[in-house]
Amino acid sequence: MLAGYATTIFFTTLTVLLAVSYPFLKDTIEWTNVLKQTLVLNPGCHTIQHPDLVGCEDGKLNPESGLVYFTCSWSNQNRRSDWRPVGSFDSKIKHNSGLVLFDPVTEKWNRLPFAQDIEFNPHGLDILPTDDGVLVFAVNHKKHGSVIEKFLHKDGSLQHIETIQDQSLLPNPNSVVAVSENEFYVTNDHGATTPLAREYEATTRQKWSYVVFYDGQKVRKVASDIIYANGIYTSADKQSVWVVSATGRKIHVYERKENNQLRPRDTIDLPFLCDNINLDFESGAFYCAGVQKALSFKSHVKDANMLCPSHALKITNNTDHDNYFGKKALFLNLVQKDGTQMSAASVAVPTKDKVIVSGIFTDGIVVCPK
C-alpha cells in the first residue's frame, strides 16, 4: 500500500518537474544546438595557413582599395590564456598581436607596423577611409582594462591617435562600428563585471549586455536588454544599426535617432550563434559567421583538439510571399564546416568575388567563392 503511494508520488513529482523544466530544457537545447547535425558544404573553399594569420578574430573590407584589415593574435596559446571575453586572465603574458592587411585578389598580406610602442591585445575593429588615410578603430583588451584605440593607417604604418576608455560604460567591449571620424558605436558583450557574475550571465543568458555611443567627448548607453551583444555594423546609409545577440541567436535591427540613440525596429532569428557581422557594399547583404554549437565552443576554448563546427551565412531581405508569415530574411549557407578545416569561425568578410572566413583561435583563414 505504502509502496503504491510512494510510486504515485514519485511519478507525479517527476511529471511536475518535467513540465516545469521543459521550457528551459527546450530553450537550452535550441540555443546550444547540441542535437544539430553538422554538414560540410562549399568544397570550393581553400585554407591559407601562416603565423601572420593566426587568430584573426575580426576583419573589415576597405571598399575603396579592396583590401581587408584583420585583427590577429599571432599566438593562440597566449589568447587562450589571456582573453577576457572567454573569462581567462594572465597578466604575465606579453601579447605580440596586431593588424594584418590582406589582398583578396593576390591572396598576399603583410603585417601593419605600429609607429609607436603599444600594448595591443585586439578584438573587434572597424575602418573608415578618409582623405588623409584610413582610420582604424580597434577594441584592445589591455592588462588594466579594455579600451578603444584609434589609429591612422598612412604611409605603411599605424599612427596611434587616441585611446578611449570608460570603465563604467566600456567594461567588456567586443565590437565597434564607426559612423564618422570621431563617433562610433560599441557593443559590451557582458553587463556583469566580475568573473562569477559574467559566468552566470553567460550561462543563464541574461539580457545584461548593451550598446554604447561615443560622440567624440563622452560615452553613453544607447541600447540595452541584449543577450550577449556581439558583432555590430551599420547599413550603407548608416541609418540602421545591426547588433548580433550571439547566444540569443538573433540580430537586433535598430533605427538611429537624431541624437544617436537606437530605437528597436526589428529582430531576425538565426540558425546558429553568430559572432561578427559585415556588410557587402555591392549587394547590401549582410554576412555573419560563428559557431553551430555553444558547448563545443566552450570545449574548444580550453582544448584546441576539441573541434568546434563553424558556420557562415549570407543574409538578405525576404521579399517573397512568405514574408507575410513572419519569415523576415533569406539565408544562404556559404560555409558549414565540421571543425576539421576551421574551428570557431568568428568573421566572414565579403569582397568582390570571394568570402574570407577567419576565427578567434584559427591557424589561418579560409577563402571561399562568393
Geometric angle at alpha carbon 283, from 282 and 285, rounded to 5°: 125
Q: Encode pLDDT of 304-354 as tens digits.
A: 889 898 889 999 987 665 554 456 788 888 777 677 778 899 999 999 999
One-character DSSP codes across 197-238: HHHHHHHHT-S-EEEEEE-SS-EEEEEEEESSEEEEEE-TTS
What would the mean pLDDT of 68-79 be, rounded to a whole number? 92
Q: Encode pLDDT of 14-31 as tens digits.
A: 455 544 444 444 444 444
How far apart are alpha carbons 300 and 292 in whole angstroms?
Answer: 13
3-state secondary structure 8-41: HHHHHHHHHHHHHHHHHHHHHHHHHCCCCCCCCC
2 burial level (CB within 10 Å; 0-12, 13-18, 19+): exposed
* In contact, 359 and 83? CB cutoff 8 Å: no
pLDDT at 77: 85
Instruction: Collapse the DSSP code of 366 into the 3-class scheme (helix H, G, I; strand E, B; otherwise coil) and give the result.
Output: strand
One-character DSSP codes across 184-208: EEEEES-S--SHHHHHHHHHHT-S-
Closest of 177, 311, 309, 290 to residue 233, by C-alpha: 177
Chain centroid offset of residue 161 CA: 25
Q: Encode pLDDT of 124-148 as tens digits.
A: 999 999 999 999 999 999 988 999 9
Geometric angle at alpha carbon 241, from 112 and 85, rounded to 5°: 55
Geometric angle at alpha carbon 186, from 177 and 328, rounded to 5°: 70
Grid coordinates belonging to 368: 571561399
